[in-house]
Structure 1
Amino acid sequence: MEESLTGISPSIKLTFMNQKINLNDISRFDFNLAITFLALWQERSVSRAASRLSLSQSAVSAALARLRSAADDPLFVRTRGAMVPTPRAEAMAEDLANGVDLIRSAFAQQAAFNPLTSTAHFTIGMSDDFQLAIGPVISARIAKEAPNVTIIYRQTNRHRMEAAFEEDDIDCAVVVQPPVRSWLEHKEVAQSGYACLLDAKTCGVHCEISQEKYLELPHLLVSFSGREGIVDEKLKLIGKRRRVQTALTHFAAVPPFLRGQRAITTIPSHAAAAIARQSGLQCLAPPIELGTYTVSLVWRRDRDQQWLRDIVMASIGEALSSRPVG
């Protein structure tokens, strides 16, 4: 039973399981009969019900016969020129009216999102380098446009993103190299690269750093694996190596490891710029070619959250468009 309810909310799943509804039995019931019942209930006449439903009297009479068979009750009895409901029909009427109203509401067009009045909660997946650079811009925009909306940032990278979407843990994600899936959409929204971050005075470096000085300094590695990064890959191509003194897994922890220390780190340029603004450390261009990469916004095809995506894309454009180095 559980497998057949994939994608249904937990509360509805619980209702199905508690009531042990036989879906095969329900599938054989024509829900149009509920509409016919309500028309007869309101009109108390086969002819008037037929006119209201734009059906022939014979069609409504046939539907009434099927209703009687399903309910095992006459439901409506002709008396003095009117169709009078039986006690069984009276007991059914409210439930059927409520059920039809719920079905109509479920298929009705959703009200347009109003950021000024919304109290929605949105969750955005991104790694902490993007949280540092883009998160504050997103939150500032949302605070201005939708003061009662809550934003949650969940640590997500391209390896964890798909599972987060499958579990409905995130509404959209900012990632590099998103997986291609038929149920996911993505849009390339920006380019980023790499920059060095260091305490320039302690390291004796000014506006630029030579490759010799770069390799002489102990390095701080920030990596998901904690072992190697793109710098090591590029250095191998030119027959060089660096000495990694410390390895971290979170960008936010970088400043205390560099302030007052003879050490350097090479990290995404958007994160380096954000950390430099807050810490007094200096951003410099790396003395080796590391290239650039594309930043993408990802979301589920079955989610209509254009307002949120517009906010995130605009924030990425603002945060990553200008990253002064030096």
Structure 2
Amino acid sequence: MKINVLDIKRLDLNLAVIFVAIWQERSVTKAAARLALSQAATSAALARLREACDDPLFVRVRGGMAPTPRAQAMADRLETGIADLWEVLTQQQAFDPSSAARRFAIGMSDDFELALGPHLTKLVQQAGARVSVMFRQTNRHTVEQMLNDREIELAVVSGSVKRAWIAREQIGQSGYACVVDAKAVRVPLPLSLDDYLAIPHLLVSFSGRTGIVDTALRALERERHVYAALTHFSAVPAFLTKTRAVATLPSHAAAALARMSRLSACAAPLDLGIYPVQLLWRRDSNGEGAIGWMRDRIKQAFALALEEAKEIEVSRRARSGQAKR
């Protein structure tokens, strides 16, 4: 479609930026602060937007501003358009890790920190002595706000996050595995379902209440006994070592914990499925060579973590088969 530049000239494209800020913040005051504008200037811009669209766009409700149906219909296209415009106009900036002094802020939950964090820091150290990584705790529930507030520049999360202003790439898949102290549980590995349910369970969950295992067991009309619940994977070895118990974890975290402790990892005795792992970043950073360089390092690190998870599961199965023979 050919654009009439004279018609475009009559519009203030800054209004689109202000719309997106209000849409994301649900507040004129917060949008103004984010854009370094006065509240009066932002309110005036909103008035011009309303006149141009012949719609209120945002109406005041308790706790903020609620978008109208017209605003909801506009939001995705405007977010995408602004991000595309930024990407086109921003020249790719070269990044040389051997000479650059740069600290990256990367968000991920501690299962990913355990699995890919050590690989990532080694790759970074090999590339440049003055490049460093700061890890921040995040997950799919908090990552959007942290990227929006620029607390982090990139993130690794499980599942799917879909917002037009967030760029994403699936860097792999992960599943689930069991972690035990093999000497303490005194049963063959990999665990049978009956042995699995006869052993007390250590739950690691964001909510601290239930997990994917409970959902799968309900379908089988079975249940397990959870003797303790944690919210962080890093504490698992302290709870399982010399203890007759089992924890069911993301396979990449299970492999990492088995590698660094006396714990053993094996396949789970029921089908818990697989899930995508996504790498996220702000689309307006697509022109930054440093961000592109770090994305490649993160993908390499996760590939190494997945390879370790694969190797441990295969080795545990093989060892179990030899023991039975």
Q: Given the two structures, how large is their TM-score scaled by the length of structure 1?
A: 0.68
- Cα separation, partners in 2 of 1:212 and 1:118, compared to 1, 3 Å: same
**Pick aligned residue for 1:279 from 251, 261, 265:** 261
CA distance in 2, matches of 1:196, 1:176: 18
CA distance in 2, matches of 1:306, 1:108: 14
Residue 129 (structure 1) aligns with: 111
CA distance in 1, matches of 2:30, 2:263: 54
Residue 86 (structure 1) aligns with: none
CA distance in 1, matches of 2:90, 2:214: 56
Identity among equivalent positions (%) equals 43
Kindly provide the amino acid, as one letter, of the partner of residue 186 in structure 2: G
Runs (5+) with no aligned partner, structure 2: 1-27, 46-88, 317-325
- Cα separation, partners in 2 of 1:4 and 1:281, compared to 1, 3 Å: closer
Please state whether the residue corresponding to 2:168 is helix, strand or coil: strand
CA distance in 2, matches of 1:314, 1:265: 27
Is 1:291 the counterpart of 2:273 in the alignment? yes
**Pick aligned residue for 1:139 from 118, 121, 128:** 121
CA distance in 2, matches of 1:153, 1:275: 18
- Contact (CA 8 Å) 1:178, 1:298: kept in 2 or not? no
Is 1:307 the counterpart of 2:297 in the alignment? no
CA distance in 2, matches of 1:108, 1:227: 46
Runs (5+) with no aligned partner, structure 1: 25-106
Offset at residue 7 of structure 1 (A): 4.7
Aligned alpha-carbon RMSD (Å): 2.3
Offset at residue 317 of structure 1 (A): 1.1
Please state whether the residue corresponding to 1:247 is helix, strand or coil: strand
**Pick aligned residue for 1:321 from 302, 307, 313:** 307
Residue 207 (structure 2) aligns with: 225
Kindly provide the amino acid, as one letter, of the partner of residue 298 in structure 2: V
- Runs in 1 of length 4+ with deviation above 3 angstroms? 1-8, 107-111
- Cα separation, partners in 2 of 1:215 and 1:4, compared to 1, 3 Å: closer
Q: Matches of residues 244-255 of structure 1 in structure 2 within 5 Å?
A: 244-255=226-237
Residue 257 (structure 1) aligns with: 239
Kindly provide the amino acid, as one letter, of the partner of residue 226 in structure 1: G
Kindly provide the amino acid, as one letter, of the partner of residue 137 in structure 2: Q
Offset at residue 184 of structure 1 (A): 0.7
- Contact (CA 8 Å) 1:172, 1:300: kept in 2 or not? yes
Please state whether the residue corresponding to 1:302 is helix, strand or coil: helix
CA distance in 1, matches of 2:129, 2:33: 34
Residue 71 (structure 2) aligns with: none
CA distance in 2, matches of 1:289, 1:271: 18
Residue 146 (structure 2) aligns with: 164
Offset at residue 314 of structure 1 (A): 1.2
Alignment: residue pair count: 234
Offset at residue 206 of structure 1 (A): 3.0
What are the superposed Cα offsets for residues 269-313 of structure 1, whole Å, 9 maximum, x if unpaired? 110110011111111111111111111101110003211111111
Kindly provide the amino acid, as one letter, of the partner of residue 282 in structure 1: S
Offset at residue 118 of structure 1 (A): 1.0
Structure with the larger RCO, 1 or 2 (CA within 8 Å, 6+ apart): 2
